[in-house]
Structure 1
Amino acid sequence: MRISYLGFVLLIWFPGALHGQSAPQSCSAPSLDGGFFAPKQETYPHGAQLAYTCGTGRKATVKGLWATSTCQNGKWSHEPQCIDEKACIPPTIPHAKYTENSNGWYENGHIIRITCDKGYHDKNQDATAECINGTWSSVPVCEKSLQACGAPPKIPHTVIINQEYQDVFAADSEVKYECEDGYTVEGADTTKTIICIAGNWTTGPSCSIDAAGK
């Protein structure tokens, strides 16, 4: 009886031991106003792909005559929608940020303000774009600033600390190096900071074997 009772307690505390992780959820058929989708089903299993198109005067919120969306654990990878053909879908602007609408598209006449990433500047000095009859006007181009620096140099026997990887660094950016174990810079020092100045990095550390550690 004690063994049976213990097994009952374990089932209460560890129900996942029998069932494992919960199975991925299916998706309900989307409500697509002004469009058509295939295959037509009431529900779609996880991983299923749905193709859809829109009628006259309407278009999908992604590029292409036939758009696709995938069921991912109970949600579509993007919500299938048909919008007015004069509306705009989000523009693709490398190295830039702008305010995104929660519904995934912009009405005709909407103006967005673009901000280039650090280390980049607006080539045409036009920080806005307007949705006009389904297309964006004067989309800014963000290019690398002449004052910015590329990736910091690789220096033997060093590692870069507290810095995520990036290709471009804005002017005045700082990167800190640390010597590997057993190496030092200028005596007992083990770290050194370099700075991006006018498109170039200042001189990095030269790590040599720590004489005291021999």
Structure 2
Amino acid sequence: MCVRYLGFLLLIWFPGALHAQRGQQGCLAPKLDNGYFVLEEGTPHELIYACDKGHKPVMEGWWATSICQDGKWSHEPQCIDEKTCIPPTIPHAKYTENSNGWYEEGHIIRITCDKGYQDKNQDATAECINGTWSSVPVCEKSLQACGAPPKIPHTVIINQEYQDVFAADSEVKYECENGYTVEGADTKKEIICIAGNWTTGPSCTHGGP
């Protein structure tokens, strides 16, 4: 196993300590198994590293960069077996993340699409095979989901964080601006996502003379 230490070189590189930026806490020199660091003069807050044959960085790419931020590296430099897989990027989905940051060959993940999305090919699993994932599931907007709720004059949406896709049966509440009311003197009204469309929203009219 090849173990290379950065400490001595870094102490020469920035005497006294590893400092990311003036006024910030420095980072301790990391240890790297099965790889090596590429030192670039003038960038003491960054580490660039590559891996020995048969291994790859824990981040995507032939080499990786880790940045010192307030005493911690943005990720711990690591070289892993080239047959293992790093976490896949699957928009609008969730899956169980491994605590060590990568997955052994043969590992199978099961994904769950976010609300308002569905599996494009009805295949919710992916397997790590020789360093890459088998067909990764794709989550696309459900035909029953709705887009962003409509903008209605003189209203505001209440108790709802912004999102651009809403699952079927989602409810959004509107409230009339000050001085405006919905017919019947009520100031609030909700709309519901049904089969990909929002129900009719409120019409707020000026309540004064």
User: TM-score range, shorter-chain basis?
Assistant: 0.7 to 0.9
Match of 1:71 in 2: 68
2:146 is equivalent to residue 149 of structure 1: yes
Pick one of 135, 138, 143 that aligns with 1:138: 135
What is the CA distance between 1:138 and its match in structure 2? 1.8
Query: Is 1:176 equivalent to 2:173 in the alignment?
Result: yes
Q: Which runs of 5+ in 2 are unaligned?
A: 1-22
2:33 matched to which residue of 1?
Answer: 33
Shift of residue 25 of structure 1?
A: 1.3
Are the aligned partners of 2:66 and 2:76 in contact in 1 as well (CA < 8 Å)? yes
Partner Cα separation in structure 2 for residue 29 and residue 131 of structure 1? 32
User: What letter is aligned with 1:83?
Assistant: I
SS of aligned partner of 1:193: strand
1:81 to 55, 58, 78: 78
Aligned residues: 187
Structure 1 position 51 matched with structure 2 position 41 = no
**Partner of 1:102 in structure 2?**
99
- The partner residue of 2:115 within 96, 100, 118 is 118
Quick one: distance in 2 between partners of 1:94 and 1:54? Answer: 29
Q: More displaced, 32-41 or 175-184?
A: 32-41
Q: CA RMSD in A?
A: 1.7
Q: Deviations over 1:107-134 (max 9, x none)?
A: 1111111000000000111111110110
SS in 2 for 1:176: strand
Assess if the C-alpha contact under 8 Å between 2:174 and 2:189 holds in 1: yes
The yes-or-no answer on 1:201 pairing with 2:179 is: no
Choose the corresponding residue for 1:92, options 79, 82, 89: 89
Query: Please, what TM-score do these two structures have when normalized by structure 2?
Result: 0.86
Indicate the structure (1 or 2) with the bigger Cα radius of gyration. 1
SS of corresponding position for 1:32: strand
Query: Cα offset for 1:187?
Result: 2.9
Once superposed, which parts of structure 1, at least 4 consecutive aligned residues long, lie more than 6 Å away? none
State the Cα deviation string for residues 58-86 of structure 1 (Å, max 9, x = none): 00011111211101111111111100000
Partner of 2:17: none
Structure having the higher helix fraction is 1
Please report how far the alpha carbon of residue 27 of structure 1 lies from its aligned counterpart in structure 2 after TM superposition: 0.7
Note if contact 2:38-2:50 (Cα within 8 Å) is conserved in structure 1: no
Partner AA of 2:185 in structure 1: A
CA contact (8 A) 2:57 2:78 kept: yes
Which TM-score applies when normalising by structure 1? 0.84
SS of alignment partner, residue 59 of structure 1: strand
